[in-house]
Amino acid sequence: MKPTGTDPRILSIAAEVAKSPEQNVPVILLKLKEIINSTPLGSSELKKIKQDIYCYDLIQYCLLVLSQDCSRIQGGWTTISQLTQILSHCCVGLEPGEDAEEFYNELLPSAAENFLILGRQLQTCFINAAKAEEKGELLHFFHIVTDSLFWLVGGHIELIQNVLQSDHFLHLLQADNVQIGSAVLMMLQNILQINSGDLLRIGGKALHSILDEVIFKLFSTSSPVMRSTATKLLLLMAESHQEILILLRQSACYKGLRRLLSKQETGTEVSKELRQLVSLLSPTVYQEVEEQKLHQAACLIQAYWKGFQTRKRLKKLPSAVIALQRSFRSKRTKMLLEINRKKEEEDLRLRLQLQRQRAMRLSRELRLNMLEIVHPGQVEKHNREMEEKSALIIQKHWRGYRERKNFRQQRQSLTEYKAAVTLQRAALKFLAKCRKKKKLFAPWRGLQELTDARRVELKQQVDDYVRRHSGSPMPDVVSRELHAQAQERLQHYFMGRALEERAQQHREALMAQISTNIEQLMMFWHFRET
């Protein structure tokens, strides 16, 4: 039932949310922040605005947006952090009326769980971030989400038990980062200061997990801020509940806790809390004597056993650590790849589905428009032409698919043919080089040996030629110049001959390459036709 006298601004926002697409809803819901901030705190007007927001299901819309993937929300973590503030402020001080059971049993636990899930997502993004500016921005958003959760729990203390028992809260508490861990410890301290009675109502396993993590952070971290927060939190838990104090004193899991706390190097800011915690954990004199006796009785056995175990463990530690790191990294990489693959497949499936729907809608609209334009007597002819065009398109795609398939099947034979042509070309070049070397050195081969009779005959011919062509004797200087000129011309001749042979060889290689390319093209077209 809708309330009367509703603020027109809320009516406008509800109408926009109902009419707008899903991706625009988060930005529209941010307008609620201006309405809430402009109204005085604690006034009846603010209470009426919260009831109107709940009655028009705007709180449910905020909860639905927070449960979506942050990468798909416009504005990213900025929008999400502001929506958490809006949701927590609207839920605190709200009187649901007739829907009280649904509000307290379903909406509030779901909101707290979503806040914890967002905190885990911000923790993961903070760890994976590389830049300092990005880390600072993510840490700011993490503080906003934790503050919103604390505001929601402070207004509805029945949610404390749900938060402390949540697996997401335990994961946040186990954060190794100093800034994230300090923020979570501070939030837990503030929650327990509101109502620490819910700490004993949670399961024993969850309580032990919280205690173990707080004690681990107290001794493992070097940050004074985290150590101070962990000390104050442990002191608050021990002072609030006698059962927890007895558990810390007598349980075997926390044996030696007091000695470790006594050995801690304390500063001025945490020394007071540490002394109080040590004094709380200190047993009576009789208990100290009994513990000393038990300690002395077990020292000998523990010394030998621990020494043996330590030596054995140290021998296996390097290989075990390497194997554990390799297994963890491999599993994390596979998990991230699988998540990305599923996300990409889902996005692709949605895009294809939208494209098909749009294409089908467009095709139908075009057909309806064409049918409106075409004369009734030409409808049958138009349908026949459309069928022919559709058949041509189907044939074209089928032939393209068939040719691509045939080409993939014949690719191996084409590769073998090309390799054979390359080998033949190399062999022809090698043989051409051999022939060239033979031709180049052929003129310099030595003459055949002459017989004595041939020498006498040649000498007689020379003497006859000299008698017939007797002339003036040539000076030695002129003869040497003629000899040098003859040798130079002979050298030019042989060099020009070598250059001509190289040019001829280059022309033959180009012709062979052209013929090879022509043969490949002919073979390719032959394969396509077959």
What digits encode the pLDDT tens for the residues 99-113? 778 877 888 888 888
| Single-letter amino acid code for the residue at 273 | E
Q: What is the pLDDT of residue 407?
A: 80
Q: What is the tens place of the pLDDT at every residue in 308-362?
A: 888 888 887 788 778 888 889 999 999 999 999 999 999 999 999 999 999 888 8
* Residue that the structure tokens 């044996």 belong to: 255
Share of the chain above pLDDT 90, in %: 7
Whether the pLDDT of residue 3 is over 60: the answer is: no
Whether the pLDDT of residue 467 is over 50: the answer is: yes
Lowest mean pLDDT segment, chosen from 13-17, 91-95, 181-185, 262-266: 262-266
CA distance 23 to 13: 15
Is 122 or 443 the better-scoring residue by pLDDT? 122
Q: Identify the H or E element spanning 206.
A: helix 204-220
Q: What is the pLDDT of residue 352?
A: 92
Sequence spans of domains, the chain: 1-155, 159-261, 386-529
Mean pLDDT of the chain: 78
- Helices 58-66 and 8-19 pack at an angle, to 10 degrees, of 50
Average pLDDT over residues 216-243: 73
Q: What is the tens place of the pLDDT at every residue in 269-316?
A: 456 766 666 666 666 533 554 566 577 778 888 888 888 888 888 887
Three-state SS for 445? coil
Nearest to 89 by CA among 28, 44, 150: 150
Average pLDDT over residues 454-478: 79
Q: What is the pLDDT of residue 217?
A: 74
| Single-letter amino acid code for the residue at 206 | A
Helix H segments across 56-91?
58-66, 77-91
Q: What is the pLDDT of residue 345?
A: 93
Q: What is the pLDDT of residue 253?
A: 64
Our separate counts of H helices and E strands in the chain read 22, 0
Nearest to 205 by CA among 240, 253, 249: 253
Q: Which long-range contacts (CB under 8 A, 24 or more apart) does 423-432 make?
A: 425/509, 425/512, 425/513, 425/516, 428/512, 429/509, 432/505, 432/508, 432/509
Three-state SS for 504? helix
**In the numeric block, which tokens belong to residue 384?**
């026949």
Whether the pLDDT of residue 91 is over 70: the answer is: yes
Average pLDDT over residues 476-498: 84
Average pLDDT over residues 388-396: 91
Whether the pLDDT of residue 153 is over 90: the answer is: no
Nearest to 164 by CA among 206, 136, 212: 206
Give 444's pLDDT tier (boundaries 50, 70, 90): very low
* Residue that the structure tokens 């007597």 belong to: 377
CA distance 36 to 151: 15
CA distance 399 to 6: 66
What are the CA-CA distances from residue 520 to residues 409, 426, 509, 527 (Å)?
17, 17, 17, 10
Share of the chain above pLDDT 70, in %: 82
* Residue that the structure tokens 């609030």 belong to: 240
Lowest mean pLDDT segment, chosen from 67-71, 84-88, 138-142, 327-331: 67-71
CA distance 256 to 294: 12
Nearest to 81 by CA among 93, 92, 65, 95: 65
Q: What is the pLDDT of residue 405?
A: 86
Average pLDDT over residues 246-255: 66
Q: What is the pLDDT of residue 77?
A: 78
How many CB atoms neighbour CB 424 within 10 A? 12
Q: What is the tens place of the pLDDT at every residue in 357-380?
A: 998 888 888 877 776 776 677 777
DSSP state of 475: P
Can you give the three-state secondary structure of 316-375, one letter per residue? Answer: HHHHHHHHHHHHHHHHHHHHHHHHHHHHHHHHHHHHHHHHHHHHHHHHHHHHHHHHHHCC
Average pLDDT over residues 441-468: 74
Give 446's pLDDT tier (boundaries 50, 70, 90): very low
Is 389 or 209 the better-scoring residue by pLDDT? 389
